[in-house]
Structure 1
Amino acid sequence: MDSLSHHWLKRLTDSRKPAYLVIPDLIEEDLASGRLRPRDRLPGLRDLAAALQLNYTTVARAYAEARKRGLLDARAGSGTFVRGRTQTLPLAGGSSVEMSMNMPPEPPELAARLSESAASLFAHADPYRLLRYQDFGGTPDDRAAGRTWLKERLPHCADDTVLVCPGIHSALVALVSQLARRSETICLDTLAYPGIKAIASQLGVRLQPLPRDDEGPLPHAFEALCKSEKPGAFYCNPTLQNPSTLTLSGQRREALADVALRYSVPIIEDDAYGWLPTSKPVALAALAPELTYHVTGFSKTLGAGLRVAYLRAPTARQTQRIAGALRATTVMPSPFTVMLATQWVNDGTAREMLDAIRVEANARQAIAAQELAELRYDAHVDGFHLWLPVPAQCNWSAPELALQLRNQGVGVVAGAAFSTDGNPPNAIRVCLGGPQDRDDCRDALQRVAETLNDPHHLHMPMM
């Protein structure tokens, strides 16, 4: 625990938040990064207070907050143990249904097209090319395919500003490492992709949440931060946001881009879901091209295993800087998956599969509308996840509900995983892409509805 205590002490010193809220955040971040694992034992209150130079009451309050978020278990006579997030459940087999991983649903035709394309690639490609180092950032053909894909949303995308990356997450690692030094700030929504939290923690970058309303981060809060402490970047997941499903309006995008332009703050536009809606809003990179690093990919539109992303940087020089950071952290994308992505873009398969996945998502959203008709939740017809507030009458926290649902054979994620301000909403994210077929999806959603509409039968008497 010595190295962990040292890490926590530094973060506590750097943070402006109360210590009792920072410690649960650190537990959650260290779970995501692997520093902590479920069932790890944490120090006693007095020991941790001494190690962190805090008083006993503050640490006791921090542990209570962490238990409220579902991160810790306290066992009388045994100590305090890390609980961790809801465990991942198998995709198929038994009665377990995976609804915690946000992956595209798999239409029946996908497997056949993948088999055909793979066979064609192996039949015609130089096999040694698949085993050798590749041009970093993609061959000219790979980059050309990336530009072809991007130009629907970024018609003025230049040839020398596109990189091919091994997934969006790796692109975000490179971007954060280049745009913010250790202890510097990146600002973002109060709800965000858990990966950006883990990346910032690993790199020692502070995340500054911006207050939000029903339309997303508030532009005046962004401007106030720019005046008091210019952030290294503004991170935004503007379309079908993970987890809230919110899509920023054109007006809100323009207002946020205007602030960024006036204060010269780079924008990281994580457009993982931007190709899903049939009606696509304007990209931030189109509103502020000289500041925006736009990244999208296929893991959230075609399949989680197709880890190919396209990153568009503002200038050729900045593209090369990011290429250097990517080379240092990931070396190169897998040659086979990049060749597959390039073939699919060029022969139209990528668009056909995207259309098929959208049809499947529409069908699963229709099932959700039927099975969850009595519950309030947020969703988008072309997306494949839901954001479901826990009804007040349940008297459960979101982590408790997630645990109850896991016991019912359904994996979901509690809101604490996405919170950046230490005040997680009492809500869960439910993903529709994990169930193997529509019947599995309906069955799982029925279990969610039954649990929420009649929670009392699940409470077992104490023995």
Structure 2
Amino acid sequence: MPASPSAPASPSAPAEPAGAAEPSAPVPALAARAASVGASPVREILALTARPEVISFAGGLPAPELFDGAGMAAAFRSVLDEQAATALQYSTTEGSPALRAATAERLAKRGLATGADDLLITTGSQQGLTLLAAALLEPGDVVVVEDPCYLAALQVFGFAGARVVAVPCDEDGPDPVALDEIVARERPKLFYCVPTFQNPTGRTMTPERRRAVADVAVRRGLWIVEDDPYGELRYEGEHVPWISSYEDAADRTVLLSSYSKIMAPGLRIGWLRAPRALLRACVIAKQASDLHTPTVNQLAAARYLTDRDLDAHLAIVRAAYGERRDAMLAGLGDALPDGSTWNRPQGGMFLWVRLPSGWDATALLSRVIEYDVAYVPGAPFFAGAPDPGALRLCFVTSAPGEIREGLDRLGRAFNSVGVAAR
């Protein structure tokens, strides 16, 4: 029976508060690589310049008004009308046989004999880099890159725990003597490069430099990772053969590319061409990553390549981009401070500027954004000592009139800085 209200309480230890628990232990720390690899400055600048009034030369974004929206919509409709059960189902990791075959055919037409089984479809060529890092790199391995280098590649190698060493470059590409010395001294696993219309500089590696890179790889024992997302965006000059086309280096050369810049980036479809054993290792790494690239996107891309003339569409894109490049080149002399230098890329999406000595492109960016225009500072692209005066300009996203207005704003921003604020 319950005690009566008047019954005296018996002595006892103080009662614990209801629901009390032991103090929480700290949450385990993030992996060291997550703390050591920073966010992309390009992505952060894009967030800062999202206001519609800003003319941004910062992003590497294809011009959306030049997407073949009608053609892509028709491709998706056909796929979903005719094979919805397949398009909406899981697929093989290697990728759609139809898309691999169509991609191999495009490569063969451009001079690189390729079969469908030589290719792995990836979720953008960025994933291809991640898969290669998983398949090839152990923590502490050395990777050699061009200086400056594609920023997201530096992130991938950083997450893999690699030590990145930069090879000095000039307007023709990497210095072959320096590359040979670095490889002999550092014993890297791979050399990563964007030989054609490089991001960020827009430069193209000469045939002689490509041959020299292949020779170093053969003589020293080295993987070459050749990234080619911009090669079909040529506005003048002749196609330069891939390093992957050199027979003596074929057993150690990987070629990456993407449909992002020539079809639609939102599809997130890239591909990787590699020797069989490495390709198989990348397939296994992809199984652990995302199982496969979205089936419906792959089938729609394959259908687009069957039903539409991508080369005819690319001719329209190249003409527009070439006009935009010329508009930017025509206005740079008035927009930039005296003593600045810049290059004239034969294609791609970017050109590279060096401001005069004493100017810091990173420090000046906040002032420039006040004038509703933006660029990307060059410093984050360097694996070695950065060039503070370097910056990257993307010329494809804006029409010529907007480019001229953006350069006018850029010129006013630089003029407002003055000598004392440098």
Q: Do they fold alike, i.e. is TM over 0.5?
A: yes
Q: TM-score range by the shorter chain?
A: 0.7 to 0.9
CA distance in 1, matches of 2:174, 2:279: 27
- Does the alignment pair 1:345 with 2:305? yes
Of 367, 373, 384, the match for 2:349: 384
- Does the alignment pair 1:111 with 2:111? no
CA distance in 1, matches of 2:343, 2:166: 21
Cα displacement (A) at 1:267: 0.5
User: Partner of 1:305: helix, strand, or coil?
Assistant: helix
Classify 1:99/1:213 alpha carbon distance in 2 versus 1 (closer, same or farther; 3 Å).
closer
Tell me which residue corresponds to 1:445.
407
Check conservation: 1:302, 1:357, Cα contact below 8 A: no
Classify 1:185/1:154 alpha carbon distance in 2 versus 1 (closer, same or farther; 3 Å).
farther
The correspondence of residues 164-243 of structure 1 with structure 2, limited to 5 A, is: 164-243=121-200
- Does the alignment pair 1:152 with 2:109? yes
CA distance in 2, matches of 1:213, 1:4: 42
CA distance in 1, matches of 2:87, 2:419: 56
Tell me which residue corresponds to 1:97.
55
TM-score when scaled to structure 2?
Answer: 0.83
- Does the alignment pair 1:299 with 2:260? yes
Instruction: Name which one, 1 or 2, has greater alpha-carbon Rg.
Output: 2
Cα displacement (A) at 1:420: 0.5
CA distance in 2, matches of 1:174, 1:205: 14
For these two proteins, the number of residue pairs brought into alignment is 386
Classify 1:108/1:206 alpha carbon distance in 2 versus 1 (closer, same or farther; 3 Å).
closer
User: Partner of 1:429: helix, strand, or coil?
Assistant: strand
Classify 1:190/1:4 alpha carbon distance in 2 versus 1 (closer, same or farther; 3 Å).
farther
Letter in 1 for 2:242: A
- Does the alignment pair 1:407 with 2:370? yes
- Does the alignment pair 1:7 with 2:15? no
Classify 1:167/1:371 alpha carbon distance in 2 versus 1 (closer, same or farther; 3 Å).
same
Cα displacement (A) at 1:423: 2.5
Of 280, 305, 309, the match for 1:320: 280
User: Partner of 2:267: helix, strand, or coil?
Assistant: coil
TM-score when scaled to structure 1?
Answer: 0.76
Cα displacement (A) at 1:4: 8.1
Across the aligned residues of Structure 1 and Structure 2, the Cα RMSD in angstroms comes to 2.8
The correspondence of residues 255-334 of structure 1 with structure 2, limited to 5 A, is: 255-277=212-234, 279-287=238-246, 288-314=249-275, 316-334=276-294
CA distance in 2, matches of 1:155, 1:7: 41
Deviations for 1:26-75, whole angstroms, at most 9, x for unmatched residues?
87x3233xxxxxxxxxxxxxxxxxxxxxxxxxxxxxxxxxxxxxx9xxxx
User: Partner of 2:278: helix, strand, or coil?
Assistant: helix
CA distance in 2, matches of 1:6, 1:127: 41
Letter in 1 for 2:261: K
Classify 1:332/1:164 alpha carbon distance in 2 versus 1 (closer, same or farther; 3 Å).
same
User: Partner of 1:290: helix, strand, or coil?
Assistant: helix
Classify 1:445/1:117 alpha carbon distance in 2 versus 1 (closer, same or farther; 3 Å).
farther
Check conservation: 2:104, 2:119, Cα contact below 8 A: yes
Classify 1:318/1:3 alpha carbon distance in 2 versus 1 (closer, same or farther; 3 Å).
same
Deviations for 1:390-429, whole angstroms, at most 9, x for unmatched residues?
234xx53111222222221123211122111132341111
The correspondence of residues 352-371 of structure 1 with structure 2, limited to 5 A, is: 352-371=312-331
Check conservation: 1:272, 1:296, Cα contact below 8 A: yes
CA distance in 2, matches of 1:208, 1:324: 28
Letter in 1 for 2:375: V
CA distance in 1, matches of 2:30, 2:406: 41
Check conservation: 1:85, 1:413, Cα contact below 8 A: no
Check conservation: 1:212, 1:218, Cα contact below 8 A: yes
The correspondence of residues 391-430 of structure 1 with structure 2, limited to 5 A, is: 391-392=356-357, 395-430=358-393
Check conservation: 1:361, 1:381, Cα contact below 8 A: no
User: Partner of 1:248: helix, strand, or coil?
Assistant: coil
User: Partner of 1:151: helix, strand, or coil?
Assistant: helix
Check conservation: 1:415, 1:429, Cα contact below 8 A: yes
CA distance in 2, matches of 1:152, 1:438: 33
Cα displacement (A) at 1:442: 2.5
Classify 1:108/1:457 alpha carbon distance in 2 versus 1 (closer, same or farther; 3 Å).
farther
Cα displacement (A) at 1:252: 0.6
Cα displacement (A) at 1:5: 10
Tell me which residue corresponds to 1:61.
none
User: Partner of 2:351: helix, strand, or coil?
Assistant: strand
Check conservation: 1:194, 1:418, Cα contact below 8 A: yes
CA distance in 2, matches of 1:109, 1:292: 32
Classify 1:273/1:87 alpha carbon distance in 2 versus 1 (closer, same or farther; 3 Å).
closer
